[in-house]
Amino acid sequence: ATSAPDSRPRRRSAEDERQELDHRLANSLQLAADFLIFEHMRVTDPRAREALIQTAERLSAVGQIHRFLAGQRRVFSVDLDHFLTELGGLITDSTGLECEVDSEAITAPGEIAQQLAIVVNELAMNAAKHAYAWGDRGALHVTCRRQGARLVIIVADDGEGLDKAFIAKQSKGLGMTIVDAIVRQLQGTLEAVNDHGARFTISIPQPSAPPAISRSFAPPGPPD
């Protein structure tokens, strides 16, 4: 006799649960971004409107980054070449910049890849806002290289360049505050110079294992 099919629900694996959680988190971030866009349409203060739309763009970008990382089979060891190329496509779609990526075949923990992606996205948003005349589809160049025991990421544009008084660590803008905070958390350095446009160089220790990264964007405390 043929046995009856097992009607008991299949027990879900830890991997299934993780994928569903990742999917829900990415959707929740996008939903939060949509809420901010709706609120942006309701307010009249120009500064509040700009702050809401920029925050919505950041949430949407983080959601897209998380969704891509979740789709990687080896989420704890991400191919930065492939990851940054995918990110470049997202940047082109969201900012209109022609983003070119040139990266060595380097792997990094997913946590670090996510932090670096946020930094690159913030610098791309900065370039889209300040580097080129309104409506111009300028270029953005992203490179990733090993230099000895360090990993160096350069984000550069061909635009108007930085103001002579600009100092990255003293910038009061939210974007540069986020960039500086993440670079500090990764125990790295940040340099901003003019070189036929603005060029930002981030140097961090060559990643091997995920570090304990603080989630705080608080400014650094006084020196010991």
Residues 31-42 have pLDDT tens digits of 666 666 667 777
Q: Which pLDDT belongs to residue 211?
A: 46
Token code pair at residue 170? 């003293």
Q: Are 171 and 129 in contact (CB under 8 A)?
A: no
- Ramachandran region, residue 141 (left: φ > 0; alpha: ψ -120 to 50; beta: rest): beta
Q: What is the pTM of this model?
A: 0.69
DSSP state of 168: G
DSSP state of 173: S
Q: Are 190 and 200 in contact (CB under 8 A)?
A: yes
Residues 115-160 have pLDDT tens digits of 898 899 889 988 988 888 766 789 999 999 999 999 999 999 999 8
Q: Are 30 and 63 in contact (CB under 8 A)?
A: yes
DSSP state of 3: P
Q: Which residue has the tokens 């125990």?
A: 187
- Ramachandran region, residue 73 (left: φ > 0; alpha: ψ -120 to 50; beta: rest): alpha
Q: Which pLDDT belongs to residue 10?
A: 55
